[in-house]
Amino acid sequence: MSVDLLIIGAGPTGLYGAYYAGFRGMSVAIADALPEVGGQIAALYPEKPIFDVAGFPAVRGQELVDRLAEQAGRWDPVLLLGHGVTELDDTGGGILATTDAGTRITAGAVLVCGGIGNFVPRELPVGSEYLGRGLRYFVPRLGELAGQDVVVVGGGDSALDWALSLEPIASSVTLVHRRTRFRAHERTVEQVRASSVRVLTPYEVRKVSGDGPLSEVVVSGPDDELVTLPAQAVVAALGFIADLGPVERWGLDLRRRRILVDPTMRTSRERVFAAGDIADYDGRVGLISIGFGEAALAVNHIASMLDPARSITPGHSTDA
């Protein structure tokens, strides 16, 4: 397969990059190790309201992904889902990418939009035998927990967001955190404390049990006080371990496990650009909207690199 631009990562930044590259007249392929588009948002926060995307006072994660996919689909990019790119080789006039499924893509340029890279959840210290039988690390569909007693474990934004999202549909929601202070945004903490969510701090999960499926959780608090909670579901939101995976072998300059880029989003390797959370430069702000701008900036410079007759400043989409 041969395309003008290969985008690695089908999250929001990658999808917007695919739209904008199509607008600039390029043929595009998008490769992602995940089986569906949307990246971290679709995998972890599909029901979470997002408030910092321009033009949307609030938008659910999955709705944003669906709209970005529809926008990119206007130009018919080739989607290679379930294809993790493992190798990038120079061809002299382009890049040859190879995926873990054996697919080979020749591209004039590569735009890496891999988010935080590969991510795996930090495991709950107990109850691993109940994974798939009540214990979970993601909540892609809130409706699956409707009517259940749910214990959410963690103190970050994900834990509190899931607790708030589940409150209207679960039979009960208990939030367990081993510290008295939360890492989540202060406004979210205030919303949880004002809700019907039961908050137990500082408590830790000591035992998960049930005859067949999970049915109860034992937590310990100050002075080793034990509390038994009814629970058909435990959502362990303890954070994630990010791994750049093969990106670290591609000969790119890295800083803080991110790819260093210049003001045009070029990396240290010819014909390879990066945008979104995987990119790093002085003063970068980690917002989805920033990733959109970076993708457009990279695409404009890629367009000019592939065809010097193309301007870096193409005008407005309404002029097309």
Tens-place pLDDT, residues 260-312: 999 999 999 999 999 999 999 999 999 999 999 999 999 999 999 999 988 88
The answer to whether 312 and 301 are in contact (CB under 8 A) is: yes
**Are 114 and 34 part of one and the same domain?**
yes
The answer to whether 119 and 112 are in contact (CB under 8 A) is: no
Q: Rounded to an integer, what distance in angstroms lies between the CA atom of residue 247 and that of residue 9?
A: 12
**Are 18 and 70 part of one and the same domain?**
yes
User: Is 277 labeled as ligand-binding?
Assistant: yes
pLDDT of residue 320: 62
**Are 151 and 249 part of one and the same domain?**
no
In sign, the C-alpha dihedral spanning 250, 253, 258, 264 is: negative
Residue 241 above 80 pLDDT? no
Structural domains counted in the chain = 2
User: Is 189 labeled as ligand-binding?
Assistant: no
Residue 24 above 80 pLDDT? yes
User: Is 318 labeled as ligand-binding?
Assistant: yes
Supply φ then ψ for residue 41, to 5 degrees. -65, -50
**38-52, 127-141, 247-261, range with greatest mean pLDDT:** 247-261
The answer to whether 247 and 114 are in contact (CB under 8 A) is: yes
**Are 190 and 264 part of one and the same domain?**
no
- In this structure, what is the dihedral angle of CA atoms 290, 295, 296, 299, given to the nearest 10 degrees? 160
User: Is 138 labeled as ligand-binding?
Assistant: no
**Are 214 and 74 part of one and the same domain?**
no
**Are 282 and 218 part of one and the same domain?**
no
Task: Name the pLDDT band for 319 (thresholds 50, 70, 90).
Answer: low
Task: Name the pLDDT band for 45 (thresholds 50, 70, 90).
Answer: confident
User: Is 19 labeled as ligand-binding?
Assistant: no
Task: Write down the pTM of the prediction.
Answer: 0.77
Which H, E and C letters describe the chain, residue by residue? CEEEEEEECCCHHHHHHHHHHHHCCCCEEEEECCCCCCHHHHHHCCCCEECCCCCCCCEEHHHHHHHHHHHHHCCCCEEEECCCEEEEEECCCCEEEEECCCCEEEEEEEEECCCCCEEEECCCCCCHHHECCCEECCCCCHHHHCCCEEEEECCCHHHHHHHHHHCCCCCEEEEECCCCCCCCCHHHHHHHHCCCCEEECCCEEEEEECCCCCCEEEEECHHHCEEEEECCEEEECCCEEEECHHHHHCCCCEECCEEECCCCCECCCCCEEECHHHEECCCCCCCHHHHHHHHHHHHHHHHHHHCCCCCCCCCCHHHC
In sign, the C-alpha dihedral spanning 159, 160, 162, 163 is: positive
**Are 114 and 8 part of one and the same domain?**
yes
**Are 142 and 115 part of one and the same domain?**
no
Average of per-residue pLDDT values in the chain: 92
Task: Find the domain containing 73 and state its range.
Answer: 2-119+240-319
pLDDT of residue 318: 64
pLDDT of residue 46: 78
User: Is 228 labeled as ligand-binding?
Assistant: no
pLDDT of residue 139: 82
Q: What is the pLDDT of residues 72-108, one digit of tens each?
A: 999 999 999 989 999 999 998 899 999 999 999 999 9
**Are 113 and 130 part of one and the same domain?**
no
**Are 99 and 142 part of one and the same domain?**
no
pLDDT of residue 77: 98
Domain boundary residue, one of 194, 209, 236: 236
Mean pLDDT over 198-207 rounds to 96
Mean pLDDT over 3-28 rounds to 97
Residue 15 above 90 pLDDT? yes
What CATH number is associated with residue 149?
Answer: 3.50.50.60
User: Is 32 labeled as ligand-binding?
Assistant: yes
Q: Rounded to an integer, what distance in angstroms lies between the CA atom of residue 29 and that of residue 4?
A: 8
What is the amino acid identity at position 100? D
Domain boundary residue, one of 236, 264, 279: 236
Domain boundary residue, one of 236, 258, 276: 236
**Are 80 and 132 part of one and the same domain?**
no
Q: What is the pLDDT of residues 115-164, one digit of tens each?
A: 876 667 889 999 999 998 999 988 877 899 999 999 999 999 889 989 99
Q: Rounded to an integer, what distance in angstroms lies between the CA atom of residue 69 and that of residue 280?
A: 25
Residue 43 above 90 pLDDT? no
